[in-house]
Chains A and B, each alone.
Chain A
């Protein structure tokens, strides 16, 4: 059974850096084709993909946020970390991590999400 869980601060101040950790079980991020991504959702709004990291350490970022995002993995700890710099109130959202089982399938298992509020 695949599970993912997001953790990190619930409140950050404007201009600060957000660090979120996705801890997963039930799969290995060293298996060919497997990936973990981050998606966010502002309150009452649509989903927005942020970043994805693949088993071979290939990384892709949303073009509109690329300069602010870094995604890394620690395969031994079964964790994926997302950092987002220069946080702004518009970044207030629920942040999800999600599993992708192959290169030709979408995000099939999602964490419950963590709400991050950006406010001074």
Chain B
């Protein structure tokens, strides 16, 4: 099984400042046949379903603001919110979908305003 970990568990950032969330997979999620990392980031606000932000580790889903960016490859990934807005308060999850036997989510990182 591919285990996903995230750090930190939570963070508080001032409005307009940068927020950085890390995600690590226990095995590589890089598909060498197409050079794509099967790593996604979701945002979940209270009482709402998760919303897809990033897939292939760094491709923004349509309609997602460009202050959200993803980076990394293999086993180590990062979600960056370049300038935190009030509406970005949420829990963020990473997910690997490399293994078709088990789609694994990370434990989540809660982002608040400082």
Interface set of A (CB-CB < 8 Å, partner B): 37, 39, 46-49, 52, 60, 62-63, 96, 98, 104-113
Contacts and interface: CB of A to CB of B under 8 A. Distances in A.
A52 B61 contact: no
B103 A46 contact: no
Interface SS, B side: loop
Given A104-B34, A106-B97, A108-B61, A49 B102 contact: yes
A48 B105 contact: yes
B95 interface: yes
B55 interface: yes
A106 B40 contact: yes
Interface SS, A side: strand
A37 B103 contact: yes
Interface in B48-75: 48-52, 55-56, 61
Given A106-B55, A106-B97, A108-B61, A49 B49 contact: no
Contacts, number: 57
B28 to A, nearest CB: 16
A62 B99 CA distance: 11
A4 to B, nearest CB: 9
A96 B103 CA distance: 14
Contact of A63 (B36, B101, B105, B106): B101
A18 B48 CA distance: 23
A46 B56 CA distance: 21
A109 B36 CA distance: 21
Contacts of A106: 38, 40, 52, 55, 95, 97, 103
A107 B52 contact: yes
B1 interface: yes
Nearest to A97: B49
A48 B102 CA distance: 10
B52 A47 contact: no
A47 B93 contact: yes
Interface string B75-111: 0000000000000000001010100111111111000
Contact of A47 (B1, B31, B56, B105): B105
A46 B50 contact: no
